[in-house]
Amino acid sequence: MPDAPVLEVRGLTVEYLTDAGPVRAVERFDLDILPGEFVGVVGESGCGKSTMLFGIAQLLSPPARVSEGSVRFRGHDLVTMTDRQLATTRWRDLSVVMQSAMNALNPVAQLGDQFADAMRAHGERSRATIRQRAEEVLALVGIDLVHLKSYPHQLSGGMRQRAMIAMALLFNPDLVIMDEPTSALDVVAQRSLMLQVKQLQQQLGFAVLFVTHDMSLVSHFSDRLVVMYAAKAVEIGSTKEIFANPGHPYTEGLLDAFPSIRGPRLPLTGIPGSPPNLLHPPVGCRFAPRCPKRFEMCDVEPPFYDAGTSRAACHLHALADKKVVQ
Amino acid sequence: MSRHYTEGAPLLETRGLTRHFKVGGAIARKTLHAVDDVEFTIRDREIVALVGESGSGKSTVARLLARVYRPTSGEIYYRGRALSSFRTRRDLLGYRSDVPMVFQDPFASLNPAYRVSHGIMRGLALHRPDIPRHQRRAEAERILERLGLDPAGEALDRFPYELSGGQRQRIGFAQALAYRPRLIVADEPVSMLDVSVRIGLLNLMAGLRDEQGVSILYITHDIASARYIADRIMVMYAGHLVESGPVEQVLQDPRHPYTQLLVAAVPDPRAELTVDKVDHGEPPKVVDPTPGCRFRWRCPWVEDVCHRITPELVELSPGHSAACHVAAARAGYGDVAVAVADSGDRH
Ligand SMILES: Nc1ncnc2c1ncn2[C@@H]1O[C@H](COP(=O)(O)OP(=O)(O)O)[C@@H](O)[C@H]1O
Ligand SMILES: Nc1ncnc2c1ncn2[C@@H]1O[C@H](COP(=O)(O)OP(=O)(O)O)[C@@H](O)[C@H]1O
Ligand SMILES: [Mg+2]
Ligand SMILES: [Mg+2]
């Protein structure tokens, strides 16, 4: 029997209550993550990736709120947990790495002190233990121990992100949630951080939920991929299969938008238009207004179809007699 | 004004371009070499990409070209004329309208207190005396439409914060275009944008070159995008130019080990993952350097000579140069020992 998922998200819906009305930034989102699995989530800016991660980690603050759905982490629903229960679970079992380390690290405290604060907040009293663990995690991410005495601004962008990851690993979590941790880095630093995360994941066995707007970034690292468009998942499947054989026209558009450094220099097409305003999303398939393959059925919201190698929310699969799945 | 410029001179040329910064406290004064002895040429109707890791000196080059910084030494020639000889307001305005800059973060160049129209109309007032006041608004709309901002009238009346990232970046270009530029210095103009928006802007840049003969210095760390629009590419490492040449040649046959590392780091969904080793190297902060190749600490080919003598750019095939003792020796330009004898004491 396969392992039980470490995370089970069901029907997660997050709303921002604005003066103009509720904005649903995440709508009926489902996701299972198995122990040790690396799941990538891709989509254009504004499609709800960060909101979804914050909704899972229960880090939302007004005007955002989870309006529906459940997030079961190792069997317990985080949505209905008290703040106290959450405080122990978060970081210890499930930790979050933010987009910008500059915002997440305390600019006026040395790294070592920040590690110590985090451990004390979770009940660790022994200074020796704290010191030893801080050294262990820094070594894990390949940062020299002299930097325990460094302030964040003294580190390069790549090192700051690695320090963030070291912090996230302090308690040996089962799941690490990452929100575009490499978006401020250049290609070389990006690649080295991705390799680092993958290596740590294999070594320590935690699962990763990794969000990015750059699909090429996760191509070699994630086991499974979720493609998001306008607050909804539109395709889910194995990363390899989706890259080889995208089941949704939006995924196809994202892939065609990538300049490749090898092979023939093809003209880049991209995706015309821009994503909808989530205050008034289009009825039916939300991608239809930009879709080169739209047809009559697209006025109705598509269910997920079994597209063979992945599940995709696109009516084209109905034409090919594929089955609706849930 | 044209009488000042030299007929037939390249659009822009730098010689020995160098910019240092004083760092450290009053006692331990040190010199950071952000850009050292950088020489390149940009011709009419040409997109030249400048790539390299963060901290390699790309933005400093851009700021030198935009006259935000003065060179510590060396010179920039615009159409044959040394920038240091530009004295009058007319000269400087002329240069600024010919060579505008577009920044990575369009917020930095858009005044948040003003509507989009403000900056563009101001540019037109300053740099386009040929357009009468009452026609400026129509001209601004024309420019925005050309950039695909539709309806242009509506976009002009927006505030920067009301626009998406892609729209703001287009406005950044619109401001530059209001000047009727010859050369746009674009510092990471698309790196914060989504792929679909990014492509629109890349095609826009290519269109400016092809249809209006505008040249662009395209600064980026996104090498794959450079491949699609650039004619030539220059690679910087730690303040030095280490390789330059026609874009296809440099990317398909990189000669400098650093360029090879850069090319290998580009994620390519269509290829298998080749690198599996974590490279924690970082471009050094070049403080009070001694002679020697600045890449030597990370270099897989390092030789004795690399610790002693800074390699010069050597043309290894027509138009394609690299600054590497070993690459030069491999290309048949003497052996490494000969390279030693030939090199100056550049550092
Ligand atoms: N503070 C807010 N108030 C209202 N709507 C918001 C707010 N923050 C985000 N949103 C809405 O949520 C959507 C998704 O945002 P976000 O989760 O940040 O997307 P992503 O991380 O994919 O870029 C946005 O397009 C916007 O419509
Ligand atoms: N005003 C400044 N004062 C001191 N150092 C600077 C200044 N501007 C840039 N530098 C340093 O010069 C080097 C090159 O920086 P920059 O040109 O911004 O690189 P890039 O644009 O390639 O990331 C870096 O080490 C940077 O810290
Ligand atoms: Mg986000
Ligand atoms: Mg820069």
Q: pLDDT for A206-223, tens place per residue? A: 999 999 988 888 888 999
**Inter-chain touch A191–B267, beta carbons under 8 Å:** yes
Chain B residue with minimum CA distance to A142 = B280
SS (H, E, C) chain A: CCCCCCEEEEEEEEEEEECCEEEEEEEEEEEEECCCCEEEEECCCCCCHHHHHHHHHCCCCCCEEEEEEEEEECCEECCCCCHHHHHHHHHHCEEEECCCHHHHCCCCCCHHHHHHHHHHHCCCCCHHHHHHHHHHHHHHCCCCHHHHHCCHHHCCHHHHHHHHHHHHCCCCCCEEEEECCCCCCCHHHHHHHHHHHHHHHHHHCCEEEEEECCHHHHCCCCCEEEEEECCEEEEEEEHHHHHHCCCCHHHHHHHHCCCCCCCCCCCCCCCCCCCCCCCCCCCCCCCHHHCCCCCHHHHCCCCCEECCCEEECCCHHHHCCCCECC
Give every residue of chain A whose pLDDT is below 70, as ranges. 1-2, 100-103
Question: What are the pLDDT digits (tens) for B146-199?
Answer: 777 777 778 888 887 777 777 787 888 888 888 889 999 999 887 767 777 788
Which residues are within 8 A (CB) of A217 and not within 5 positions of it... i.e. 6 or more apart?
A182, A190, A194, B267
Tokens 């500059």 found at: A102
B227–chain A nearest CA distance, Å: 7
* B203, β-bridge pairs: none
Query: Does the complex come out with an ipTM higher than 0.85?
Result: no
Whether the CB-CB separation of A313 and A233 falls below 8 Å is answered with: yes
Using a CB-CB distance cutoff of 8 angstroms, which residues of chain A are in contact with residue B169? none
**Inter-chain touch A156–B55, beta carbons under 8 Å:** yes
B342–chain A nearest CA distance, Å: 32
Chain B residue with minimum CA distance to A271 = B196
Distance from the alpha carbon of residue A64 to the mean position of ligand 1, in angstroms: 9
Nearest to A224 by CA among A240, A213, A212, A204: A240
Q: Which residues line ligand 1 (CB under 6 A)?
A: A 16, 18, 23, 25, 43, 45-51, 63, 278
Whether the CB-CB separation of B56 and B50 falls below 8 Å is answered with: no
Q: Report helix angle B89-98 to B116-127, nearest 10.
A: 130
What amino acid is encoded at A301 in this protein?
A: E
Q: Report the b/e string of A159-181 with b at 16+ CB within 10 A.
A: bbbbbbbbbbbbbebbbbbbbbb
Tokens of residue B228, six digits: 């699609």
Chain A residue with minimum CA distance to B202 = A268
Kindly state whether A146 is in contact with chain B, defined as any CB-CB distance less than 8 angstroms: no
Tell the burial category of B8 from Cβ atoms under 10 Å away from its Cβ (0-12, 13-18, 19+).
exposed
Longest pairwise C-alpha distance within chain B: 69
Which residue minimizes the CA distance to atom 11 of ligand 1?
A25
Q: What is the pLDDT of residue B343?
A: 47
Q: Point out the residue among B164, B270, B273 whose CB comes nearest to the CB of A274.
A: B164
Whether the CB-CB separation of B43 and B215 falls below 8 Å is answered with: yes
Cβ count near B124 (within 10 Å): 23
Which residues are within 8 A (CB) of B138 and not within 5 positions of it... i.e. 6 or more apart?
none
Instruction: Calculate the alpha carbon distances from A282 to A108, A252, A278, B295 in Å.
Output: 46, 20, 9, 53
Q: Which among A99, A143, A187, A215 is the top mutation candidate for probing chain B, defined by the most B β-carbons within 10 Å of its own β-carbon? A: A187
Instruction: Calculate the alpha carbon distances from A82 to A18, A77, B154 in Å.
Output: 26, 10, 47
Q: What is the pLDDT of residue A161?
A: 87
A71: Cα separation from own chain's centroid? 15
Cβ count near A136 (within 10 Å): 12
Q: Point out the residue among B53, B199, B272 whose CB comes nearest to the CB of A257.
A: B199
Q: What is the mean pLDDT of each run of 10 residues along chain B (347 residues)?
A: 71 97 82 96 97 92 94 96 92 90 70 83 86 91 80 82 76 84 91 75 90 94 90 97 97 95 81 62 81 93 94 95 95 63 47
Distance of alpha carbon B296 from alpha carbon B301, whole angstroms = 8
**Inter-chain touch B262–A187, beta carbons under 8 Å:** yes
Looking from the CA of residue B62, the nearest atom of ligand 2 is 17
Using a CB-CB distance cutoff of 8 angstroms, which residues of chain A are in contact with residue B282? 156, 158-159, 189
pTM: 0.85
Question: What are the pLDDT digits (tens) for B34-56?
Answer: 999 999 999 999 999 999 988 89
The CATH classification of domain B12-268, taken from the options 3.40.50.150, 3.40.50.300, 3.40.50.1370, 3.40.640.10:
3.40.50.300
Q: What is the pLDDT of residue B335?
A: 58
Q: What is the pLDDT of residue B8?
A: 83
For chain B, the domains span 12-268, 290-347
A265–chain B nearest CA distance, Å: 7
Q: What is the pLDDT of residue A287?
A: 97
Which residue minimizes the CA distance to atom 2 of ligand 2?
B21
